Structures are given as structure tokens and as C-alpha cells.
Amino acid sequence: MGRVFIDRLFKGIEAVLAALLLGMVVMVFGNVVLRYAFNSGIQVSEELSRIFFVWLTFVGAVVAMRDGAHLGMDGFVSRLSHRGKLACLAASQAIVLAGCAVLFWGTWQQHEVNATTTAPVTGLSMIWVFGVSYLTSLGIGAHALHALWRIASGRLRDDELVQVTESEEIPHEAAHPGARP
């Protein structure tokens, strides 16, 4: 049941990412057309598209972490023994967890400043821009904690020890859904 819930949650998150991207495209394209054709524009659209981009990037990082899509180099790790791979994965997940803790703590330290500062055009509190760091640090941190728990409990399969996917290993359809052969 938990796995189904997580899968549905991430499908919902991916839908939100698609909506953010669509919103960015519509606002930027609409503003370009308005500026070119009518020598005017919607001031809010520039600021909102920037906010959407920040959210798209930070929330997308959580999805990419779950999918194993972040950049990595496995040339050294793939040559190690099983124990060496386990140690490297545990160390990397611990470093990721520490980075998430620093990100969360830094966002917490800046919370009051961001909550009381407003964006110049929309008037939105800047916590709506920078507060996404809370979600990102918690999401990626939870993934790293889960990976560390699986390492400690011995529930990690051998094929999961190197968490880098080569572009050649991704089936063409998975990499480019709907593409023609």
C-alpha cells in the first residue's frame, strides 16, 4: 500500500511540474507576443514565471532524486567490490542527508527575512519563493534516509548499489516517450 501511495504522490508531483512548465511557457510567450504586437506586457507574468522556474527546479530535484536521474560518475565505484560499493553508497547518501540538513537549516535561518520581504510586482511574500527549499530538503532527505535504512538493513539489491543510469541503458521509449523510431 505504501508503495502505491508514493507512486501516486510522485505522479501528482509530476503533474504539478508539468503545470508549472506550461504556466511559464504561456506567461513568457504571451508577454513576448504582447510586447512585439502591442508594445505592452503583463508585468506580473515575468515575476511569476521566475517563481515558477524556481519551484520547477527545486521540486524537480526531488523527482530526479527518486528516479536516479542526477548526474554521477560511476567509473570508480563500479569497479569496487560489493562492500566497497555499499560503503560508497552509504557515504554518498550520508553526504546528501547532511546537505539537506544544511539547506533546511539555512532556509529556517532566513525564514523571517523571507516572510517579511515582498516581491516588487506581485507583492507575494518571498517565503513563497524560497520556502520551496523546505520541501526539497525534506523530500531528498527522506529519500537519503530511506536508502541508508535499506543499506543498514541489508535490503538493497546488488543492481541498486551503483545509482547512476547511463543514457545508453535507458530504453529509447522511456527516454523519449512518443518518439518515432
How would residue 161 be classed by pLDDT, with cut points 50, 70 and 90?
Answer: confident
Cell readout for 124 is: 507575494
Q: What is the pLDDT of residue 174?
A: 55
Q: Whole-angstrom Cα distance, residue 161 to residue 85?
A: 6
Q: What is the pLDDT of residue 166?
A: 62
* Element counts in the chain: helices (H) and strands (E): 6, 0
How would residue 170 be classed by pLDDT, with cut points 50, 70 and 90?
Answer: low
**Contact 21/60 with Cβ under 8 angstroms?**
no
Contacts of 150 (CB under 8 A, 6+ apart): 156
Q: Whole-angstrom Cα distance, residue 175 to residue 18?
A: 17
What average pLDDT does the segment 71-75 reach? 79
In sequence order, the β-bridge partners of residue 125 are: 118
Residue by residue, DSSP assigns 10-63 as HHHHHHHHHHHHHHHHHHHHHHHHHHHHHS---HHHHHHHHHHHHHHHHHHHHH
∠ CA 11-105-116, nearest 5°, is 90
Burial of 104 (0-12, 13-18, 19+ CB in 10 A): middle
Q: What is the pLDDT of residue 180?
A: 46
pLDDT in tens, 50-68: 999 999 999 999 999 998 8
pLDDT in tens, 5-19: 999 999 999 999 999
Q: Which residue has the higher pLDDT, 75 or 164?
A: 75
Computed over every residue of the chain, the mean pLDDT equals 89
